[in-house]
Chains A and B, each alone.
Chain A
């Protein structure tokens, strides 16, 4: 894979998320919290009729669970990509030995 492409793709994604932090003043709350507020504004009488089954007791616990979700996913991805890469490497090695 072309190194320049990787740099461009990663760099683009990182810039897109860091620039707003630097350039935009905002509280960076979630868009669905804003949607909840908008629902309240459009239909002031609406009462949410169910509560979430489990709500993380604090922002810390919530960030733990989000980090866990990312770590699980990233771990599985890394493992699988690593396997494919190793297989690719061994194939290439055995090919070059034969020729």
Chain B
């Protein structure tokens, strides 16, 4: 063991312990949240969303192979992005509306590895929850995949680069990316439900307003939480993982030569 300043060591250890404790304590809330439940999309819509989603999944698999082939050293980071999505989507967090929902953690990987690859990682998370937790479902996986593993990552990526160009502050851009991807996923889910179940009087628009109202308020505090946690992990990476971030062109050489 090399001796280092104890304050620094215990500070970081404390942060790890706190994050882990928070993740573990917050998780075993039995209430279900978000994603369209099994059987809750009519057959035609379920098949339709699967058809829309499949090309993105294929693109993702291709992107994943390319990434591992071209930058084998980034494999560990891909696993980290996947694990982050895995943890965050298991957290049923109570919200201001008195109901629970969960964040997704999809923005981190979308910014690190570009959006196509996240279709694969997002699908893995959705599969786990659909098969073992009766949360979401196989017939609705196409629709859920499209909202969480396609629209979410793409908007996260666009937000990251937009904000990052405008403010030159990657941490704020990362916060925005997580926030936007989280809210967008729920907006798309509401739209998917509204299209399949239009209101008998007001049609799709009224139904969308109803579903969106159900999710939106619940989701805003969670989106902020997700933003904060994503920035935490992002700060960690920019401190300890500079070489990889440079390979991924997210840090310039000058910024990290500390």
Q: Do A and B come together as binding partners?
A: yes
Q: Which residue of B lies closest to A53 (CB)?
A: B131
How far is B94's CA from A25's CA once the two chains are assembled, in angstroms?
A: 11
* Contact across chains for B214 and A34 when beta carbons are under 8 A apart: yes
A31-B215, A84-B241 known; A77 and B80 CB under 8 Å?
yes
A10-B232, A20-B95 known; A48 and B28 CB under 8 Å?
no
The total of chain B residues at the interface (CB under 8 A) is: 92
In the assembled complex, which residues on chain B have CB atoms less than 8 Å from the CB atom of A85? 12, 240
How far is B111's CA from A13's CA once the two chains are assembled, in angstroms?
A: 21
How far is B129's CA from A5's CA once the two chains are assembled, in angstroms?
A: 33
Besides A6-B15, A38-B193, A73-B85, 7 new A-B residue pairs in contact (Cβ under 8 A), listed by A number = A1-B235, A9-B228, A29-B32, A30-B33, A34-B214, A56-B134, A73-B90
How far is B15's CA from A2's CA once the two chains are assembled, in angstroms?
A: 11
* Contact across chains for B31 and A10 when beta carbons are under 8 A apart: no
Residues in chain B within 8 A of chain A (CB atoms) = 2, 4, 11-12, 15-16, 18-20, 22-24, 26-40, 42-43, 76-77, 79-80, 82-101, 128-135, 137-139, 193, 197-200, 207, 210-211, 214-215, 218-219, 221-222, 224-225, 228-229, 231-233, 235-237, 239-242
How far is B76's CA from A76's CA once the two chains are assembled, in angstroms?
A: 10
* Contact across chains for B228 and A12 when beta carbons are under 8 A apart: yes
In the assembled complex, which residues on chain B have CB atoms less than 8 Å from the CB atom of A54? 131-132, 134
* Contact across chains for A31 and B99 when beta carbons are under 8 A apart: yes
For the residues of A in contact with B, the DSSP-based class is helix
* Contact across chains for A84 and B33 when beta carbons are under 8 A apart: no
Number of A-B contacts (CB under 8 A): 247
* Contact across chains for B86 and A73 when beta carbons are under 8 A apart: yes
Kindly identify, within residues 22 to 36 of chain A, every residue whose CB is under 8 Å from any CB belonging to chain B: 24-36
Closest CB-CB distance, B190 to chain A, in whole Å? 9
* Contact across chains for A6 and B232 when beta carbons are under 8 A apart: yes
A10-B22, A69-B86, A93-B2 known; A53 and B40 CB under 8 Å?
no
In the assembled complex, which residues on chain A have CB atoms less than 8 Å from the CB atom of B30? 59-60, 62-63, 66
How far is B26's CA from A85's CA once the two chains are assembled, in angstroms?
A: 26
* Contact across chains for A29 and B133 when beta carbons are under 8 A apart: no
A16-B221, A30-B31 known; A42 and B207 CB under 8 Å?
yes
* Contact across chains for B37 and A32 when beta carbons are under 8 A apart: yes
Kindly identify, within residues 42 to 99 of chain A, every residue whose CB is under 8 Å from any CB belonging to chain B: 42-43, 46, 48-56, 59-60, 62-67, 69-74, 76-78, 80-85, 87-89, 93
